[in-house]
Structure 1
Amino acid sequence: MVTVSDVADWWGNSICRMEPGVVELRGVPVGELIGSTGLVSTIWLLTRGAMPDPRQAALLEAAMVASVDHGPQAPSIAIARMTVTCGVGLNNAMASAVNALGDVHGGAGEQCVELLDEIVARQAAGEDFDAAVAVVVEAWQAKSRYLPGFGHRFHPVDPRRAPLLELVDRAVAAGVVAGQHVRAARAVETLLNQGRTKPVPMNIDGATAVIYAELGFPAPLARGLFVLSRSVGILAHAWEESTQGRRNKGPMPPSILPTYVDSASRPPG
């Protein structure tokens, strides 16, 4: 026989306690957080179970600010703008956009944390640092010619890279973070650029991955944090588009029609 206690235990959690007149987040009454705690610190509290040091929160906030938007050439932003012209609400447009954030568009930060974690773990196990970097990079390149966190299809040098890494360097000097992951990321960047005439610098996904990893966030949470960050830009674009009066906005202006490829001229298969 199922009891009330069985049902209550079914939804047992350590994140939110809610009962009539009570809302606590990780044991802290929400009234104590309102007006005194920033959103980023609250994100940390809910995902990690404790409040961050203010310097940790500042570093996380920098990473999240850097990732809020990259314009409508990003598929998620374009989707948000198109969806909101179809007669749905902002929440539908945001959900449609967030659902496009997969392994290729949105997942590089998570993958880069995994890569950096592998290097740091190998070094911690006693492996030579440079050898660990070479082995991990080779293994990742065997899976894909794109190394997550490095290179950019638009920017010769990602303008968000240097400010973020400067903040990490300051945090290392102040003892806020250990510096192992940023060292690994820079070593990967150096290795990638050996013998190249066109550089492959670290990008926003790599720089934010360094921050997430240095702050101790597991790799899957790196993607979740990116999604939270990019949702800000998604909301802004969806809202702007909703005020412009367009209906059923497609991926191209109506005056431009897609090329029709005759099946007879299409390559077999």
Structure 2
Amino acid sequence: MSLENTEEHAIRHWWRTSIIDMKPGQIEFRGHPIQDLIGNVGFAQMIWLMTRGDLPSKAEADLFECALVAGVDHGPQAPSIAAARMAATCGVGLNNVMATGVNMLGDVHGGAGEQCAELYLDIAERMDAGVNLNDATRDGIAHWRETYGKIVSGFGHRFHKPVDPRAPRLMAMVREAASTGTVDGMFADIGEAVQAEIGRQRGIEIAMNIDGATAVIFCELGFPPPLSRGLFCLSRSVGVLSHGWEQMQQGGRNKGPMPPRFLPLYEDKT
């Protein structure tokens, strides 16, 4: 009987993977023995290896790490961080605290990077079809708004006005990487064109935010949009962990979203 017709074959193919080859005394990730990776590969490189299947160059890894560093935290006013801190006062363990915070990262809070990357790729496809950058940008934004609404993910910020301090630095790092040939720079051009076009339509300049800038980096490095969201969630989990742990050290019991002396406004609908 061939292996293909055995129960062993069926069982082993149930969870088939090209990520890890593990057996007693052996652990290999994408063909790299773990003992060779430890001490020789940084965490950002390891994330790349696990998600992409190969190891990045040092310059690619450095740019990738910039995006991961930029998104780690945005303070207790961010829903993911606030939820983690509240959970930390409810008697659950640190793993539950982290799960609570990460589970707050949805389409609106956490998903903007993925959505922005989709817009960038749409514009890039229009350019590949022969449309110039400005027209492709205008048409891409119009299509976005027809599909998702007025707000274009990755631009403007409810808190940081007029500038998100993270975005200019990230874009400068992209331009530096483009100057050395690490990346092409096309998505940096697209991101800046989107920023300019939204400002033109509004009649006032608008800032690129963290999501717009990290989406540029992830697109330049070849990550698909869903991974843009996943990588942001991975980055933000560092802040979730940090704030959750800090709150556990500070103590507190059953802390809600506002101090007890402030009560929600009751609206009588009768």
Class of the TM-score when normalised by the shorter of the 2 chains: over 0.9
Give the match for residue 261 of structure 1: 267
Distance (whole Å) between structure 2 residues aligned to residue 154 and residue 257 of structure 1: 24
Q: 2:181 aligns with which of 175, 185, 203?
A: 175
Matched, 1:219 2:225: yes
Give the match for residue 267 of structure 1: none
Gaps of 5+ in 2: none
1:191-238: CA deviations, max 9, x gaps? 111164542111100000000000000000000000010000000000
Task: Give the superposition deviation at 1:189.
Answer: 0.8
Matched, 1:96 2:100: yes
Give the match for residue 238 of structure 2: 232
Give the match for residue 39 of structure 2: 35
Give the match for residue 252 of structure 2: 246
Matched, 1:145 2:150: yes
> Which SS does the other structure have where 2:165 is aligned?
coil
- Structure 1 runs, 4 residues or longer, greater than 4 Å off: none
Distance (whole Å) between structure 1 residues aligned to residue 200 and residue 248 of structure 2: 48
Task: Give the superposition deviation at 1:9.
Answer: 1.0
Task: Give the superposition deviation at 1:127.
Answer: 1.9
Q: 1:155 aligns with which of 156, 160, 173?
A: 160
Task: Give the superposition deviation at 1:128.
Answer: 2.4
Aligned alpha-carbon RMSD (Å): 1.2
TM-score by length of 2: 0.95
Distance (whole Å) between structure 1 residues aligned to residue 135 and residue 141 of structure 2: 10
1:98-150: CA deviations, max 9, x gaps? 11100100000000100000111111122222211111011112231110110
Matched, 1:209 2:226: no
> Which SS does the other structure have where 1:83 is aligned?
helix
> Which SS does the other structure have where 1:177 is aligned?
coil
Conservation of the 8 A alpha-carbon contact between 2:133 and 2:193: no
Distance (whole Å) between structure 2 residues aligned to residue 94 and residue 45 of structure 1: 24
Task: State which drifts further: 250-259 or 199-208.
Answer: 250-259
Give the match for residue 64 of structure 1: 68
TM-score by length of 1: 0.96
Matched, 1:118 2:133: no
Gaps of 5+ in 1: 265-269
